[in-house]
Amino acid sequence: MIWVESPDAFFFHFWNAWEEPESDEVVVIGSCMTPPDSIFNEHDESLQSVLSEIRLNLKTGKSTRRPIIQEPSDHVNLEVGMVNRNLLGRQTSYAYLAIAEPWPKISGFAKVDLLTGEVKKYMYGDKRYGGEPFFLPTEQNCEAEDDGYILAFVHDEKTWKSELHIVNAKNLQFEASVKLPSRVPYGFHGTFIDSRGLVNQA
């Protein structure tokens, strides 16, 4: 067992982690709540969810924390979401995360380049909010990491109607929507099961 000192941090969610043998480091990607105890205590500081890269050095027992989005003007509160699940435990380039603004509602989602910090946004529109974005690859072994679609439930608080939005993950272009017969409550987590998966459930 190896103990590693880490920066003060509180994470609701981690998005991925992988080993980098050449540097003896474990890289962890997650959304770090700032200040760390802001969820459980009253603070004058405004709450921020900072997408961060933590590097745990297994040789030195030390660690570093780097905000992935470097420019303060680009900062956005990013929470529930995911990476391409086919790459869990391996280095990933992108994360698809809910934009938790106005906190705690979710007004859209972002595709974040984990290396450069570039942020691309898909917004739901006025008085329209949703839940966790779900990345669905076009194929099990697609060549490009972002070759797939983002699925997201969207609820319109003016009309009280809900839809499923289907968005191209490469360019965040809207592809289609499915009108739903009833409201889908706001929630954190979901999953996708194809027809073969449903058969296996029976």
**What's the Cα-to-Cα distance from 115 to each of 32, 45, 84, 145, rounded to whole Å?**
17, 28, 16, 14
* CA atoms of 78 and 9, how far apart (whole Å): 15
Q: Looking at residue 44, what is its pLDDT?
A: 56
Q: What is the pLDDT along the chain (202 residues), one digit of tens a residue?
A: 778 887 777 777 788 999 888 888 889 888 877 766 555 556 555 677 788 888 988 888 888 888 888 776 667 788 888 888 888 888 899 999 998 877 778 889 999 999 888 899 999 989 999 888 989 888 777 778 888 999 999 999 999 999 999 999 999 999 999 999 988 877 767 777 777 778 877 6
> What residues pair up with 134 in beta bridges, in sequence order?
151
Q: Which residues are annotated as a binding site?
A: 13, 189
Which residues sit opposite 163 in a β-bridge? 154, 179
pLDDT score of 74: 64
Core vs surface per residue 46-65: b (16+ CB within 10 A) or e: eebbbbbbbbbbeeeeebeb
Q: Any idea where the domains of the chain sit in the sequence?
A: 10-182
The pTM score is: 0.85
Exposed/middle/buried for residue 14 (C-beta within 10 Å: 0-12, 13-18, 19+): exposed
Q: Which residues contact 194 (CB under 8 A, 6 or more apart)?
A: none
Binding residues for Fe cation, by number, are 13, 189
